[in-house]
Structure formats: structure tokens, C-alpha cells
């Protein structure tokens, strides 16, 4: 098969993946709204099952599309914005599927599949470029290392941010019986945070953790705040979600992994920059934003462990960090000029 | 005055005390700390562990208060966020170290706002007072936090695991069993199961009524978690120090080399040379480098560059000449420094004769590429004309593959398939004689007349006369009007822009960065767990086994660890019977 044919096949696979993601998104939305209508968890959720299987199908198409793209270009498929979009959304979906083994996180489906679909839509409409080789500055094995780890990090942090969104939704005005349960100490105090992370000490319920921040639910009577039919539905969806501390735990696990990957991205990028541009750090706009993202996620890890801070505030950090990632990807690539202008646009 | 001071001190004290209370207090709860949950980190001297500040604060007390604030997690977090925010302007405004010409343009475009931004350091954010203040405070805070923790961690490494709690009821992860062995045998089994993974200590307690004593095991693992955490933070300090020292001792020179020419490694040979304040000229090792040939490949369809390669010969002191190739991603190591290929372009060779027919200029002049098809802009200055004649200057473009389209000429391909020089000539005074350094890529035409087709236009009386556009192909000569002379386009060599850098700390910075990654991974993913086992003698020579385990945070492996120990005890019991 010729290069052009491979490229066309890759694009076709991406369109097939988008179709399947669209079906999955609708299914997950139906499932969520049914949670809102009929409430609790223990009935069969046919829509969610359809959502999961179509997501798996879409991931297969998606993977095939990425792989064919690599074959068509004769290099790793992550050298321009089109390909970053493809790969990071694939990683996000794969992380979601991997996390689904062993626990039911189907409630998260629409928050992962939705952004993935959006990313692919942007990729094929705005960022598309034909498969091609790379310019001299990218001819390095660091393209394989630095960029792949960066895209994996973004994929992982995408799912982490999705958990944080749900955590904020759940914690917002959490009331009733859930409040009791969610007042247990959770989460390992990450890194340096552990100095101040002694909140659990006075709590009478110490569930397998010694020195950890309490995820509190700041508005105990929030249940009454939801008004009207829509408000009621949202409230029921909210109640059907796992507790805020549980969501925070899952968000933390992903964000911690994402932070380590991001640190690696930063260091690997510096090593590559040293080889390609003759300096390991030069405050190029992309470097600035990578640094800012790193600092914000470092703040996230410390905020989790800061005494007296609720998990809600940590979640806000995680979302700010993810917002910076999106800005770094879109705004910095497209608006600011710098040495990282390889977007192929 | 004295009263004022006292009042001020009092205010500080109240504020400090309030701060301490606000951080420390759990409303309605005393400082109850269950047994076994006390933590080595608690001794680290965090701000909340000090007694409330006394009213008479004094200078020392005030400093202590500031220190405690600075090393508190809240302030560290605040500084982190400030650092993130303060770093942003550097990506939004042009920066002097990276793009001085864009700063100049910004200042021209924003005459009102620009100078203020300049004064506030927005065009060199990462060297500005405020940015430096933030990261220095952050690192002071970090060191102030990490050193006491390191000391506490060293003590914890030597100390025994925490005491066995009186009751295991509070622990979510616990197990109980009755086995057919003596407490002693059961304990040996438990210790075997823990060996290698936990640090374990044995103990004894009074059994409830009986001569046989209750045996206990206390164990802990995961000290590496805190070690990794400390390594990570100290490595960050190492990176900062390394970067700073590298800046002080390092140097960077930029030089533009045309094919067939070379340069010697000396400060004067460079077009621009920046060095740290502790750099000495002797640090430059002598060598010469010549650019033999520059190769460039482009994709014929997308016009994007495919490959750049500078073939050079290098001669180091006392060594024979050697050949080398510098590519974008593979710098050349020579004389303790590295030479990077950072740019390339064309340097047309021209010969200019003045009115009397003498060669006034002969040489290659770099033209800087302006776009992807190497439409290159350049200036040719001809100051050394025969006495009496006007100096000449040429401004214009080199089009590597020119397509002439009526009046317009443009380049359609970056390779020199049909090179054409498009020049406008000026005659008069170049302004070089007063000794003020000039930009070689700009022509100061304030005292020069535009050369039109019918002669030189007086610069003091601007007219709308059409400038004479000179089009030259290689080998071509064009006569200038008014007997000003002629210009010949002889050849079209390429040039390579080389960056020579030396940073003595680069290896150290790399090692610290890798240490930081390793420490970070360890601190986030090594589980820290504690386990206690109590073996109480029961009736009929049996033993009641009770065990509990505790982890830092969510830890799915904790239950497995506990089960492994209890199962090992059970197994021994079965073997015995």
C-alpha cells in the first residue's frame, strides 16, 4: 500500500472511531440521565453497558488509526498538532478503560469520551495535515521519548481532571448521609505536604490512615439548594456518584502519575533542547507553560496535604492545571511564536 | 516611641498567636493523638508544634515568626502559585535574552505602555527582581522545611517502629485468628513473613492473668518514601544551584561562517559573545574551525526542510585537522565546548567597482532568510571607494529560485535553482566614519541619496523618483548610472550560523534532574505501612493472634500484606498439628 493510501486509511479509521465515540457518548448520557430519573445504582444499566462496549470498539479503531498514521509517515505518529490530538485522546480513553477494570467508573464515561470526541473533531477539521516526514529539528530519538511521554501525561491528566470535575460536583452542597461517610481522612499526603498533613489526628474515625487531610463537604445542606426538575435530576445524579473522597482518591492517583510523567517530559525536553538548540532551558513560550503546569500540579500535591484545606480546593488546583495544559496545547502552539512552532499549521 | 514599639510588638504577637491557633486548632477537640499514630514527621518542627508565641516578641521573636511563616506549607503554596503566575508574562511579552529585536519593535508599537513595562522588568521577566524574589523565597522556604525533616527522617531511620496500640479496634485493616501453636512459634512465623520487607521489633506485654506473657511484633516499611521526598526536594535545590553556577562560569558565542571560510576560537572572532561574570578569557581553548560545505535538503512538495548538515574541519591545539559534520540535533564537541548549528542561509559573493574602475568591495555578504523559501534580506556596504567618490550601499533581497512576474519577483523554492539578487542602490555617506558601531544588516540612509534610473536623488530633497531596481544573476554585472561604478554577482555560497556554548555545570544539573525524578517517583509510589501483631496465650496451648495494619493514605496492598503475615502464622499452626 502506498503512503497516501495508508494515510487515507488512517483518517478513515479515525472517522470510524469518532462515530463509535458518538454512540458511546449518547449511551453514557442516557445512562446518566436515567440515574437522574430513577436513581440508584443497583439496577441494570443497559445504556452504560452499550457505552462501554462502543468505547472499546472506538478505541480499537482509534488505535488502528494512530498506528496507520505512523506507518504512513514512516515515523512515530506524534509530530504535529493533529497527531498530538489523536494520541492524547487515545491515551485518555485507554486510561479510562484500564481504570474500569475492577471498579465501576461508567459514570465517568461521558466526561472522557466527550473530550476525546471533541479532540478528534478538532483534529480532523482544524489541525489535519497529510502524513509526512519531519523537519531537521525533530529528527531525534527524543521525539519518541519526550513527546510520547508528554502526550501520555496529557491523556492521564485528562482523566484525572474528569474525576476532579465530578468530585467538585459531588462535594458541592453535599448533604445527608453521604456527609458522614465522606468525612473520613483520605489520600496520601503527597510529597512535602506530609509535614502539615496531620489533620486526621483528632478524628475519632481513623480508617487506615494516619496523617491525612480530611476531604470535607463544606455545605452540609446543599441538597435543599437544588430546585426544580432539572435541579432535582442533577441532585439525583450527584447522589448516585461515589463520595467526594472516593472521587478525590481516584483523581489523585491519576494526577500523581501524570505529575511524574510531566516532570519526566520537562527533563527530557531540557535534554533534547540542549542537543538541538544548545541550551537546556531558554524560557521559550512552550517551556514557560510546561514549567507553569508543573508548578500548578506541584501546588496541587501540596494543597492536598495542607492542613485545613479541603479536597475541594485541591481539585480546583487540578482543574487549573488542566486548563493550563489546554492553553499550552492550543494557545501556545497557535498564537505565541517560539521554537516549538512545529504544529504543522 | 517606646510605647509605639511596644504596641506594634503586641500586635505582631497577637497576629502570630492567632495564626498559630488558626492552624493548630480543631474546634472542640483536644490534642488527642491515638497510640501508634504518632509520626516521625511530627518532630520535624513544623510551625504548629511550637508553643503559642509569647506577647513580648522582640526582634528575635519577630524573625522566628517570619521564618515559621516562610517555612509553612501555606506560604510555600502561595509562593508556588505566585511563581506560576509570575512566569506567564515571559511567554506573552517579547523577552530581551531571546528576541531583542521583538522587544524593540514592541517598544516602538507601544510608546505609552512599553517603557513602563520595561521599567517593571516585563521584557526580561526571568531576571527581574520580582521573579527572582519569588523563587529565592520559595527555595528558602523549601530548605527551611526540608532540613528539619531530613534530620527527623534520619532519627526515624534509627528509631524502632512505633509501639503496639492497646486496642486494634480502631483499625480498618485488621485480622484475628486462633492458632494451635505457642505464641513464640507464632511470632517466629510472623517475623519470617515480615523479613526483608519490614523492619520489625519484638516485645512483650503482661498477659491477662497467667504466667505466659503476651508477645508482640511491631513493624514498619516504606522509609524510602520519605527518603525519596527529601531527595526530590534537595535535588531541586541542586538544579537551581547548578543553573546559577553554570550561568556564572559559562559562555556563549555566536558566529556566522560562510562556506570556504572559518574562524578561530577567540572572543574577538565571535559576532556576539556572552559570558558569565566569573568567566575568564583563558577558559577558551584554542581551535580553528572552517566550514567546507553546507548541505540542505528540502521536501519538493511541502518545501519543508528535510536535512541540514555543515561539513567542517576542526583543528585543535597540537592536533591534526579532522573532519566533522554538525547537524541540528547533533552538536560538535570541541575544546570543552559544544558547537550547535542554529541557522543557515545564503551569502552572495559580489564585487563592487567604483567610478574609477577600482575594486572597492569583493566578498560574500550574509543575507538573512525571511521565510520558508529563503527570500533573504541583506545589505552591502561599500565604504572604501576611491578618494572623492561617494560611498555606496545596497539594500535588497536574494531570491534563491526567482520567478519574475511583471514588476514582482519572488522566490518559490529554497534551493538556489535560479538565484537572483534584487537590489536598490544608495550613494553618499554610510555614516561609518564617526566610529559608532552599526548594524551590518541595516543601512543608514540619512546621508545617502537613492540611486534612481536618471541619477542620484538628493537625500535632503526627497522626490517621488522611482528607485533603480538592480536585478543580477550569477556572473552578471550591472553598471550604475552617473558613473558611480558597477556591481557583479559572482557566486552564491551558503553560510551556517553556529552557536558555541560551554556550561561547566551541565552534567551536574542533569544528574540532579534525574535524581529529582527518581525521588519523586519513590515519594509518590512507595507505600509506607505499619503493622502490629499481638500473640496472646489462650486455653489449651492455643494462641490468639490479633494483627492490625496502617498505611499512609489509600493502599490496596495493605490488606494483602496483613493477610500474608496472618496466613503465615496459620500455616505454621497447621504444619504443627
Say what the pLDDT of residue B116 is: 92
pLDDT bin (cut points 50, 70, 90) of residue B117 is very high
**pLDDT above 90 (res A175):** no
Say if CB A328 and CB A285 are below 8 A apart: no
- Burial-class residue B441 by CB neighbours within 10 Å (0-12, 13-18, 19+): middle
CA–CA separation, A198 and A206 (whole Å): 12
Give chain B's mean pLDDT: 84
Q: Does A186 touch chain B (CB under 8 A)?
A: yes
**Which pLDDT band holds residue A228 (cuts at 50, 70, 90)?**
low
How deeply is A274 buried, as exposed, middle or buried, from its count of CB atoms within 10 A (0-12, 13-18, 19+)? buried
Cα dist from B100 to A172, B93, B501, B508, B569, whole Å: 49, 11, 19, 30, 73
- pLDDT score of B82 more than 80: yes
Rounded to whole angstroms, how far apart are CA atoms B411 and B418?
9
Q: Is the pLDDT of residue A197 over 90?
A: no
Q: Is A292 in CB contact (< 8 Å) with chain B?
A: yes
Q: How confident is the model at residue A340 (pLDDT cuts 50, 70, 90)?
A: low
Torsions phi, psi for A80 (to 5 deg): -150, 175
- What pLDDT, on the 0 to 100 scale, is given for residue B23? 36
pLDDT the model gives residue A209 = 35
Q: What is the mean pLDDT of residues B12-27?
A: 40
> How many helices and strands (H and E) does chain A possess?
12, 0
Residue A138 neighbours by CB distance under 10 Å: 18
The yes-or-no verdict on residue A345 having pLDDT over 60 is: no
Q: How confident is the model at residue A236 (pLDDT cuts 50, 70, 90)?
A: confident
CB-CB under 8 Å, A187 with B146:
no
Q: Which domains does chain A have, with CATH numbers?
A: 1-133 (1.20.120)
Q: A234 falls in which pLDDT band (50, 70, 90)?
A: confident
Span A75-87, average pLDDT:
90
What H or E segment, with its residue span, contains residue B391? Answer: strand B391-399
A262 inside 8 A of chain B by CB: no
CB-based contact A186 B307, cutoff 8 Å: no
The whole-number pLDDT of residue B539 equals 78
| pLDDT the model gives residue B29 | 35
Checking if the pLDDT of A229 tops 50, the result is yes
Contact criterion met (CB < 8 Å) for A210 and B524: no
Per the document, the length of chain B is: 577
**Mean pLDDT, residues B127-151:** 93
Higher-pLDDT residue of B17, A264: A264
pLDDT digits (tens, 9 = 90+) for B43-65: 333 444 455 555 677 889 899 88
Mean pLDDT of A74-86: 89
Which residues from B are below 8 Å from A341, CB to CB? Answer: none
Selected residue with higher pLDDT from B336 and B501: B501
List the one residue out of A203, A204, A200 whose CA is nearest residue A212.
A200
Please, which residues have CB within 8 angstroms of residue B46's CB and are 6 or more apart in sequence? A195, A196, B72
- What pLDDT, on a 0 to 100 scale, did the predictor assign at position B270? 87
B243, B414, B264: which is closest to A291 by C-alpha? B243
pLDDT at A226 over 50: no
Q: Nearest CA of chain B to the CA of A46: how many Å? A: 30
Q: How many CA atoms lie within 13 A of B440 on its CB side?
A: 9
Give the model confidence (pLDDT) of B229-267 as tens digits. Answer: 999 999 999 999 999 998 899 888 889 999 999 988 888
User: How far apart are the CA of B70 and the nearest CA of chain A, in angstroms?
Assistant: 14
pLDDT > 90: what percent of chain B? 42
Of B511, B514, B522, the closest CA to residue B227 belongs to B522
DSSP B185-231: HHHHHHHHHHTTTSEEEEEEE--SSSSSPEEEEEEEE-HHHHHHHHH
- Taking 80 as the threshold, does the pLDDT of residue B11 lie above it? no
Q: Which residue has the higher pLDDT, B81 or B444?
A: B81
ipTM of the complex: 0.81
Q: If you average pLDDT over each of A59-73, B204-218, B427-441, which comes out highest?
A: A59-73
> Which residues fall within 8 angstroms of residue B250, CB to CB, at 6 or more apart?
B275, B276, B279, B501, B502, B503, B504, B505
CA distance B263 to B409: 35
pLDDT digits (tens, 9 = 90+) for B448-497: 888 887 777 777 666 677 788 889 999 999 998 888 889 999 999 999 99
Choose the mutation target among A102, A188, A257 for the interface with B, i.e. most B CBs under 10 Å: A188
pLDDT in tens, A271-320: 988 888 888 888 888 899 999 999 999 999 988 866 667 688 889 999 99
Closest to B257 in 3D by CA, of B337, B320, B321, B312: B312
Residues of chain B with pLDDT > 70, as a percent, come to 88
Count of CB contacts below 8 A, A vs B?
Answer: 203
Q: How many CB atoms lie within 10 A of CB B338?
A: 19
Phi, psi of B277 (to 5 degrees): -65, -25
Distance CA(A132)–CA(A155), nearest Å, equals: 24
For residue A177, is pLDDT > 80? no
pLDDT score recorded for residue B4 = 47
Q: Which of A142, A276, A295 faces B80 most closely, judged by CB atoms?
A: A295
Rounded to an integer, the average pLDDT of B367-396 is 88
At residue A186, does pLDDT exceed 80?
A: no
Q: How far apart are CA A6 and CA B212, in angstroms?
A: 79
pLDDT at B44: 38
The answer to whether residues A154 and A91 touch, using CB atoms and an 8 Å cutoff, is yes
**3-state SS assignment for residue B570:** helix
Residue A258 has what pLDDT? Answer: 96
Q: What is the mean pLDDT of residues A333-343?
A: 63
> What pLDDT does A25 receive?
95
Q: What integer is the mean pLDDT of A147-176?
A: 86
Q: Is B466 exposed, middle or buried (0-12, 13-18, 19+ CB in 10 A)?
A: exposed
B419: helix, coil or strand?
coil
Note the pLDDT of residue B430: 85
| Least confident interval from B279-283, B470-474, B529-533 | B279-283
Chain A positions touching B32 (Cβ under 8 A) are 201-202
Chain A residues with CB under 8 Å of B523 CB are 190-191
Q: Does B48 touch chain A (CB under 8 A)?
A: yes
Look up residue A236 and give its three cell numbers: 439525583
Q: Is the CB of residue A296 less than 8 Å away from at least one CB of chain B?
A: yes
Mean pLDDT of B139-154: 93
pLDDT score of B53: 52
pLDDT, tens digit, 9 for 90 and up, residues B392-420: 899 999 999 998 877 778 889 999 999 99
Percent of chain A with pLDDT over 70: 74
pTM of the model: 0.79
8-state DSSP, A115: H
Q: Does B329 touch chain A (CB under 8 A)?
A: yes
Task: Say yes or no: A306 contacts chain B, CB-CB below 8 A.
Answer: yes
**Contact yes or no for A294/A262 (Cβ under 8 A):** yes
pLDDT at B33 over 70: no
- pLDDT tier, A324 (very low <50, low <70, confident <90, very high otherwise): very high
CA distance B186 to B206: 17
Amino acid at each position: 500500500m502506498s503512503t497516501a493510501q495508508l494515510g487515507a486509511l488512517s483518517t478513515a479509521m479515525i472517522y470510524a472511531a469518532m462515530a463509535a465515540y458518538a454512540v458511546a457518548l449518547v449511551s453514557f448520557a442516557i445512562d446518566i440521565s436515567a440515574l437522574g430519573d430513577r436513581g440508584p445504582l443497583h439496577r441494570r444499566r443497559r445504556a452504560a453497558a452499550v457505552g462501554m462496549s462502543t468505547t472499546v470498539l472506538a478505541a480499537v479503531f482509534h488505535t488502528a488509526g494512530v498506528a496507520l498514521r505512523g506507518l504512513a509517515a514512516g515515523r512515530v505518529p506524534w509530530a504535529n498538532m493533529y497527531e498530538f490530538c489523536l494520541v492524547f485522546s487515545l491515551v485518555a480513553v485507554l486510561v479510562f478503560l484500564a481504570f474500569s477494570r475492577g471498579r465501576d467508573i461508567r459514570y465517568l464515561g461521558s466526561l472522557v469520551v466527550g473530550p476525546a470526541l471533541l479532540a478528534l473533531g478538532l483534529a480532523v477539521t482544524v489541525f489535519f495535515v497529510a502524513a509526512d516526514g519531519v523537519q531537521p529539528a525533530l529528527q531525534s530519538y527524543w521525539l519518541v521519548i519526550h513527546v510520547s511521554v508528554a502526550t501520555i501525561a496529557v491523556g492521564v491528566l485528562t482523566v484525572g481532571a474528569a474525576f476532579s470535575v465530578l468530585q467538585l460536583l459531588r462535594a458541592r452542597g453535599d448533604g445527608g448521609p453521604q456527609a458522614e461517610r465522606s468525612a473520613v481522612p483520605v489520600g496520601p499526603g503527597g510529597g512535602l505536604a506530609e509535614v502539615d498533613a496531620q489533620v486526621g489526628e483528632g478524628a475519632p474515625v481513623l480508617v487506615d490512615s494516619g496523617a491525612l487531610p480530611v476531604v470535607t463537604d463544606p455545605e452540609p445542606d446543599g441538597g435543599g439548594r437544588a430546585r426544580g426538575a432539572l435541579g432535582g435530576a442533577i441532585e439525583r445524579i450527584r447522589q448516585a456518584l461515589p463520595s467526594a473522597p472516593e472521587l478525590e482518591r481516584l483523581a489523585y492517583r491519576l494526577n500523581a502519575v501524570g505529575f511524574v510523567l510531566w516532570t519526566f517530559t520537562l527533563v527530557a525536553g531540557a535534554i533534547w533542547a540542549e542537543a538541538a538548540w544548545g541550551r537546556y532551558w531558554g524560557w521559550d513560550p512552550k517551556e514557560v507553560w510546561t514549567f507553569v503546569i508543573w508548578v500548578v500540579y506541584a501546588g496541587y500535591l501540596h494543597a492536598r496535604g495542607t492542613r485545613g484545606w479541603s479536597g475541594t480546593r485541591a481539585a480546583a488546583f487540578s482543574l487549573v492545571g488542566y486548563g493550563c495544559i489546554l492553553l499550552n496545547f492550543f494557545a501556545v502552539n497557535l498564537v505565541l511564536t517560539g521554537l516549538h512552532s512545529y504544529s504543522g499549521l | 516611641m517606646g510605647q509605639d514599639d511596644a504596641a506594634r510588638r503586641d500586635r505582631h504577637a497577637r497576629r502570630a498567636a492567632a495564626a498559630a491557633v488558626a492552624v493548630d486548632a480543631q474546634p472542640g477537640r483536644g490534642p488527642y493523638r491515638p497510640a501508634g499514630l504518632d509520626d516521625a514527621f511530627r518532630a520535624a518542627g513544623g510551625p504548629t508544634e511550637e508553643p503559642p508565641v509569647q506577647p513580648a516578641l522582640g526582634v528575635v521573636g519577630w524573625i522566628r515568626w517570619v521564618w515559621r511563616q516562610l517555612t509553612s506549607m501555606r506560604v510555600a503554596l502561595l509562593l508556588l502559585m505566585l511563581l506560576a503566575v509570575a512566569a506567564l508574562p515571559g511567554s506573552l511579552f517579547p523577552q530581551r535574552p531571546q528576541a531583542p529585536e521583538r522587544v524593540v519593535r514592541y517598544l516602538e508599537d507601544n510608546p505609552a505602555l512599553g517603557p513602563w513595562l520595561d521599567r517593571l522588568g516585563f521584557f526580561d521577566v526571568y531576571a527581574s527582581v520580582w521573579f527572582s524574589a519569588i523563587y529565592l523565597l520559595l527555595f528558602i522556604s523549601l530548605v527551611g522545611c526540608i532540613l528539619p525533616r531530613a534530620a527527623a527522617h534520619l532519627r526515624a531511620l534509627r528509631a524502632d517502629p512505633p509501639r503496639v496500640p492497646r486496642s486494634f479496634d480502631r483499625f480498618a485493616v485488621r485480622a484475628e485468628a486462633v492458632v494451635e501453636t505457642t505464641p513464640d512459634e507464632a511470632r517466629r512465623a510472623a517475623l519470617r513473613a515480615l523479613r526483608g520487607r519490614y523492619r520489625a521489633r519484638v516485645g512483650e506485654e503482661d498477659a491477662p492473668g497467667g504466667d505466659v506473657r503476651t508477645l508482640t511484633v511491631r513493624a514498619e516499611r516504606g522509609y524510602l518514601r520519605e527518603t525519596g521526598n527529601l531527595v526530590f526536594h534537595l535535588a531541586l535545590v541542586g538544579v537551581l544551584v547548578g543553573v546559577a553556577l553554570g550561568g556564572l562560569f559559562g559562555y556563549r558565542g555566536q558566529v556566522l561562517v560562510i562556506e570556504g571560510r572559518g574562524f578561530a576560537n577567540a572572543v574577538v572572532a565571535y559576532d556576539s559573545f556572552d559570558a558569565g561574570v566569573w568567566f575568564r578569557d583563558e577558559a577558551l581553548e584554542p581551535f580553528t574551525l572552517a566550514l567546507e560545505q553546507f548541505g540542505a535538503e528540502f521536501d519538493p512538495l511541502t518545501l519543508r526542510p528535510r536535512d541540514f548538515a555543515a561539513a567542517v574541519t576542526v583543528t585543535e591545539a597540537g592536533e591534526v585537522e579532522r573532519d566533522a559534520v554538525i547537524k541540528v540535533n547533533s552538536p560538535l564537541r570541541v575544546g570543552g565546548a559544544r558547537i550547535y548549528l542554529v541557522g543557515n542561509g545564503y551569502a552572495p559573493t559580489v564585487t563592487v567597482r567604483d567610478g574609477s574602475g577600482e575594486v572597492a568591495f569583493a566578498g560574500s555578504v550574509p543575507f538573512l532568510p525571511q521565510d520558508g523559501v529563503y527570500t533573504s534580506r541583506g545589505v552591502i556596504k561599500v565604504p572604501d571607494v576611491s578618494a572623492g567618490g561617494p560611498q555606496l550601499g545596497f539594500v535588497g533581497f536574494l531570491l534563491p529560485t526567482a520567478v519574475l512576474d511583471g514588476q514582482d519577483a519572488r522566490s518559490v523554492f529554497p534551493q538556489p535553482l535560479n538565484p537572483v539578487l534584487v537590489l536598490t542602490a544608495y550613494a553618499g555617506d554610510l555614516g561609518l566614519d564617526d566610529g559608532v558601531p552599526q548594524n551590518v544588516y541595516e543601512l543608514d540612509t540619512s546621508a545617502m541619496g537613492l540611486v534612481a534610473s536618471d541619477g542620484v536623488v538628493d537625500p535632503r530633497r526627497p522626490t517621488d523618483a522611482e528607485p533603480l531596481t538592480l536585478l543580477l544573476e550569477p556572473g552578471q554585472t550591472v553598471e550604475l548610472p552617473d558613473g558611480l561604478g558597477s556591481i557583479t554577482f559572482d557566486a552564491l555560497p551558503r553560510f551556517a550560523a553556529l552557536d558555541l556554548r560551554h556550561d561547566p555545570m551541565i552534567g551536574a544539573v542533569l544528574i540532579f534532574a534525574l535524581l529529582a525524578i527518581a525521588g519523586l517517583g519513590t515519594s509518590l509510589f512507595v507505600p509506607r505501612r505499619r503493622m502490629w501483631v499481638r500473640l496472646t496465650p489462650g486455653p489449651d496451648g492455643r494462641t490468639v493472634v490479633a494483627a492490625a495494619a496502617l498505611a499512609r493514605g489509600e493502599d490496596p496492598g495493605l490488606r494483602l500484606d496483613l493477610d500474608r503475615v496472618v496466613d503465615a502464622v496459620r500455616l505454621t499452626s497447621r504444619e504443627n498439628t
